[in-house]
């Protein structure tokens, strides 16, 4: 049967058809839907972990115990999981192990655009790159075979355009769940130096065998057509190349690490010149150049952002002295300027209150990653740093130690899911090293940013089954933090008083701002109206940056269609001009 699947759904399907028994991951665009989709196959045990390192380690255990195992994460998640990854490469697997790395060229929703194929080379594990949903399913299944045949974890590397594009996929019958026998083998799985040295030799021998395999596998396809030039490419770039040059000779690499010198040289020898078309890093190009071939890649194509069929066509045409396509920008000439439409915190978002107060108090805010990072944008603009998940707390401690004058003004702001991901160790550091910082945990009962996934404090698993909910306040107290308070962020005055008090305190404080994400619980508590006779048009309420509060003909108005009735603006208005619709005016 043929169905339409996104690349992510196709990977989940491929894992299912290949008899996967265990799947783990941490949410992160564009990888999240793989596990969300795997839930539809009840025979697979699947779970969200608190972070990618733990997810990877759960996968390690599952593989060693005998199951075929899938672990999923976005590209930056692999940084977090890199430690187990690099040594699991040494031990190798029992049940096949596939790591999906979902990279994000163009940074559609990421903080950087690192190219994780480099992790494949660093960890010396094979890297497969599907070019559409059909291949995503097939390669996922193939990756388990390779993993077991070569005793290695395999990276299935996709990019946003593969993850989030739908294409036709032919479904196949699943094989039964694969379960290998567990046999204790310390020399293979206990990586003390003596055993590690032995395993390193095994890894190098394995790589030689993989190079051999790279020359034979049908994952890599050579098509010779027009011989004037040939293109080496992989992944989504293959589609751009086909679209731009249907008649070109192409070496399409389904396995981009390791490469076979023989395969590449054979291809190059059949065409007059060779281009390498790849997004981000010159990953293929570097290897091809070390083979002694002369090729053009990053001299023509950018290191930054995505490529496109149009770009491939134009660059190569120009290089080959061929005619380029006409300019299509004309329709745009003389158009009025078009305002951007940036994302915003939703009406009724509990994070808004926090940033409003932090801005008012002129705090130095070390931030973190989540919906609340939008607090960095106008008009709130209440965030000084954002680096990676969990960084807010360590950064706050470092700032305090480096610049004691700032100490009383520093607040670390971190979401609940992010706190579990990698905030706890930062807080331990703050306590251990006598920090005096204030940490604000934004507990909105969900991982909102990536589409509302469960996390360790929501009381639900990936499969929506009830489970133990970690108590954040209890956890923090248990670490030894004495000043721990919970507050409803919509109690603006109390929140403000608390932040003042806790930043002044001479020890670590944790404020837990607790209120569910506005999209989880539809407040349905009516909407606000502005009493025109009282409003002095001071625009103080607009400093909240609520999309329901708009300026119309110079006057402040509230849009009843999208107002969530959260009551924030009523507290901000100094003259009491905002009230709930339908409530009496006194």
Partner 1 sequence: MLNKINLLLVGVGGQGTILASKILAEVALLSGLDVKMSEIHGMAQRGGSVVTHVKMGDEIYSPLVEKGEADIILSFEQLEALRWLSFLKPDGEIITGTQVIEPVPVIMGKAVYPSGIVKTIQGRVQKLISLDALAFATECGNAKASNVVLMGVLARRLGFAKEIWLKALDNKVPAKFLDINKKAFTQGYELV
167 interacts with partner 1 by CB under 8 A = yes
Of 552 and 574, CB closest to partner 1: 552
**What residues numbered 213-272 form the site for partner 1, per CB under 8 A?**
236, 239-240, 242-243
156 interacts with ligand SF4 by CB under 6 A = no
Q: Which residue is nearest to ligand TPP (CB)?
A: 415
Diameter of the chain by CA atoms? 88
- Selected from 484, 510, 546, 573, the binder of ligand SF4 by CB under 6 A is 546
User: Between 354 and 393, how does the x/- string for binding to ligand SF4 read (CB under 6 A)?
Assistant: -----------------x----------------------
Residues facing 71 on adjacent strands: 24, 99
With 0-12 / 13-18 / 19 or more C-beta atoms within 10 angstroms meaning exposed / middle / buried, residue 300 is: middle
Of 91 and 233, CB closest to partner 1: 233
Of the ranges 128-136, 180-188, 292-300, 447-455, which one interacts with ligand TPP (CB under 6 A)? 447-455
The distance from CA 247 to its chain's CA centroid, rounded to whole angstroms, is 36
Residue 164 near which of ligand SF4, ligand TPP, partner 1, none (CB within 5-8 Å, type-dependent): partner 1
Distance between CA 431 and CA 507 in Å, rounded? Answer: 8
Query: In the block, which residue shows the tokens 């930054």?
Result: 304
- Selected from 11, 345, 380, 439, the binder of ligand SF4 by CB under 6 A is 345
348 interacts with ligand TPP by CB under 6 A = no
- Selected from 86, 87, 108, 178, the binder of partner 1 by CB under 8 A is 108
Contact 541, 352 (CB under 8 A): no
Contact 243, 316 (CB under 8 A): no
Q: Cα Rg for the chain, rounded, in angstroms?
A: 27
Distance between CA 568 and CA 566 in Å, rounded? Answer: 6
Distance between CA 218 and CA 142 in Å, rounded? Answer: 11
Distance between CA 405 and CA 384 in Å, rounded? Answer: 16
416 interacts with ligand TPP by CB under 6 A = yes
Q: Which of 304, 342, 302, 308 is nearest to 325 (CA)?
A: 308
569 interacts with ligand SF4 by CB under 6 A = yes
Residue 558 near which of partner 1, ligand TPP, ligand SF4, none (CB within 5-8 Å, type-dependent): ligand SF4
Of 52 and 113, CB closest to ligand TPP: 52
Number of residues that bind ligand TPP (CB under 6 A): 24
- Selected from 417, 454, 458, 567, the binder of ligand TPP by CB under 6 A is 417
Q: How many C-beta atoms surround the C-beta of residue 566 within 10 A?
A: 26
Of the ranges 93-101, 244-252, 369-377, 456-464, which one interacts with ligand TPP (CB under 6 A)? 369-377
Residue 239 near which of partner 1, ligand TPP, ligand SF4, none (CB within 5-8 Å, type-dependent): partner 1
**What residues numbered 488-527 form the site for partner 1, per CB under 8 A?**
519
389 interacts with ligand TPP by CB under 6 A = yes
Q: Which residues contact 61 (CB under 8 A, 6 or more apart)?
A: none
For residue 79, the minimal CB distance to ligand SF4 (Å) is 24
Q: What's the first-to-final CA gap in the chain, in angstroms?
A: 67
Residue 328 near which of partner 1, ligand TPP, ligand SF4, none (CB within 5-8 Å, type-dependent): partner 1
Instruction: Sort strands 22-25 and 69-74 into parallel, antiparallel or unpaired.
Output: parallel
Residue 121 near which of ligand TPP, ligand SF4, partner 1, none (CB within 5-8 Å, type-dependent): none
27 interacts with ligand TPP by CB under 6 A = yes
Q: Where are the beta strands (DSSP E) in 383-431?
A: 410-415
For residue 387, the minimal CB distance to ligand TPP (Å) is 10
Distance between CA 58 and CA 94 in Å, rounded? Answer: 14
SS3 at position 160? helix
347 interacts with ligand SF4 by CB under 6 A = yes
Residue 343 near which of ligand TPP, partner 1, ligand SF4, none (CB within 5-8 Å, type-dependent): partner 1
Q: Where are the beta strands (DSSP E) in 278-352?
A: 295-296
Residue 3 near which of partner 1, ligand SF4, ligand TPP, none (CB within 5-8 Å, type-dependent): partner 1
Query: In the block, which residue shows the tokens 């698993």?
Result: 461
49 interacts with ligand TPP by CB under 6 A = no
Contact 243, 231 (CB under 8 A): no
Buried b (16+ CB within 10 A) or exposed e, 353-373: bbbbbbbeeebbbbbbbbbbb
Distance between CA 119 and CA 280 in Å, rounded? Answer: 14
Q: Which residues contact 140 (CB under 8 A, 6 or more apart)?
A: 10, 11, 13, 14, 15, 18, 70, 98, 100, 130, 156
418 interacts with partner 1 by CB under 8 A = no
Instruction: Sort strands 528-530 and 45-48 into parallel, antiparallel or unpaired.
Output: unpaired
With 0-12 / 13-18 / 19 or more C-beta atoms within 10 angstroms meaning exposed / middle / buried, residue 100 is: buried
Residue 568 near which of ligand TPP, ligand SF4, partner 1, none (CB within 5-8 Å, type-dependent): ligand SF4
- Per this entry, what is the length of the chain? 586
Distance between CA 454 and CA 465 in Å, rounded? Answer: 10
Number of residues that bind ligand SF4 (CB under 6 A): 25
With 0-12 / 13-18 / 19 or more C-beta atoms within 10 angstroms meaning exposed / middle / buried, residue 504 is: exposed
Instruction: Sort strands 226-233 and 220-223 into parallel, antiparallel or unpaired.
Output: unpaired
Of the ranges 94-102, 219-227, 339-347, 365-373, which one interacts with ligand TPP (CB under 6 A)? 365-373
- Selected from 369, 411, 513, 572, the binder of ligand TPP by CB under 6 A is 369
563 interacts with ligand SF4 by CB under 6 A = yes
**What residues numbered 63-92 form the site for ligand TPP, per CB under 6 A?**
74, 76-77, 80
Query: In the block, which residue shows the tokens 């048009």?
Result: 537
- Selected from 35, 131, 349, 430, the binder of ligand SF4 by CB under 6 A is 349
370 interacts with ligand TPP by CB under 6 A = yes
Contacts with partner 1, residue ranges (CB under 8 A): 2-4, 29-30, 108-109, 132, 160-161, 164-168, 236, 239-240, 242-243, 308-310, 328-329, 331-332, 335-346, 371, 374, 378-379, 450-451, 519, 542, 545, 547, 549-551
Contacts with ligand TPP, residue ranges (CB under 6 A): 26-28, 52, 74, 76-77, 80, 369-372, 389, 415-418, 442, 444, 446-450
Contacts with ligand SF4, residue ranges (CB under 6 A): 345-349, 351, 371, 444, 448, 517-519, 528, 544, 546, 548-549, 558, 563-569
């Amino acid at each position: 049967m043929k169905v339409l699947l996104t690349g992510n759904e196709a990977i989940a399907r491929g894992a299912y058809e290949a008899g996967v028994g265990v799947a783990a991951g941490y949410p992160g665009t564009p990888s999240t839907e793989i596990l969300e989709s795997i839930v539809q196959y009840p025979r697979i045990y699947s779970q969200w972990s608190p972070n990618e390192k733990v997810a990877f380690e759960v996968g390690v255990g599952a593989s060693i115990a005998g199951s075929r195992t899938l672990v999923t994460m976005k590209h930056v998640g692999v940084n977090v999981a890199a430690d187990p990854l690099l040594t699991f490469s040494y031990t190798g697997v029992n049940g096949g192990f596939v790591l999906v790395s979902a990279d994000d060229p163009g940074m559609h929703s990421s903080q950087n655009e690192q190219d994780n194929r480099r992790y494949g080379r660093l960890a010396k594990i094979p890297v497969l790159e599907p070019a559409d949903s059909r291949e995503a399913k097939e390669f996922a299944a193939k990756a388990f075979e390779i993993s077991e045949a070569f005793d290695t974890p395999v990276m299935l590397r996709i990019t946003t355009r593969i993850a989030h594009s739908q294409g036709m996929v032919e479904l196949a019958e699943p094989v039964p769940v694969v379960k290998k026998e567990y046999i204790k083998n310390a020399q293979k799985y206990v990586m003390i130096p003596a055993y590690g040295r032995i395993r390193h030799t095994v890894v190098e021998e394995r790589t030689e065998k993989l190079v051999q395999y790279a020359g034979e596998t049908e994952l890599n396809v050579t098509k010779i057509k027009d011989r004037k030039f040939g293109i080496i490419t992989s992944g989504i770039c293959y589609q751009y190349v086909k679209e731009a040059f249907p008649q070109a000779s192409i070496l399409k690499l389904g396995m981009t690490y390791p490469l076979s010198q023989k395969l590449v040289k054979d291809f190059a020898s059949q065409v007059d010149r060779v281009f390498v078309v790849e997004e981000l890093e010159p990953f293929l190009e570097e290897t091809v150049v070390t083979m002694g071939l002369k090729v053009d890649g990053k001299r023509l194509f950018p290191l930054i952002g995505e490529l496109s069929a149009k770009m491939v066509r134009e660059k190569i045409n120009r290089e080959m002295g061929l005619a380029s396509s006409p300019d299509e920008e004309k329709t745009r000439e003389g158009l009025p300027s078009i305002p951007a439409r940036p994302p915003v915190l939703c009406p009724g978002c509990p994070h808004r209150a926090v940033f409003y107060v932090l801005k008012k108090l002129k705090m130095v805010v070390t931030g973190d990653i989540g919906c609340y990072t939008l607090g960095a944008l106008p008009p709130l603009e209440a965030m000084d740093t954002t680096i990676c998940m969990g960084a807010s707390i360590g950064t706050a401690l470092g700032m305090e130690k480096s610049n004691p004058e700032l100490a009383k003004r520093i607040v670390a702001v971190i979401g609940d899911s992010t706190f579990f991901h990698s905030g706890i160790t930062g807080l331990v550091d703050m306590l251990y090293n006598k920090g005096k910082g204030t940490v604000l945990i934004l507990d909105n009962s969900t991982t909102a940013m990536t589409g509302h996934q469960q996390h360790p404090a929501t009381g639900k698993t990936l499969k929506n089954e009830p489970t133990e909910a970690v108590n954040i306040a209890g956890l923090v107290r248990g670490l030894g933090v004495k000043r721990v308070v919970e507050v409803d962020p919509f109690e603006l005055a109390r929140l403000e008083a608390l932040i003042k008090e806790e930043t002044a305190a001479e020890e670590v404080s944790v404020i837990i701002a607790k209120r569910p994400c506005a999209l989880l619980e539809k407040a349905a508590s009516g909407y606000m109206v502005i009493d025109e006779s009282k409003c002095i048009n001071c625009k103080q309420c607009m400093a909240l940056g609520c999309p329901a509060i708009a300026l119309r003909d110079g006057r402040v108005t509230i849009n009843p269609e999208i107002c969530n009735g959260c009551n924030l603006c009523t507290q901000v208005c100094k003259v009491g001009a905002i009230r709930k619709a339908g409530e009496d005016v006194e």
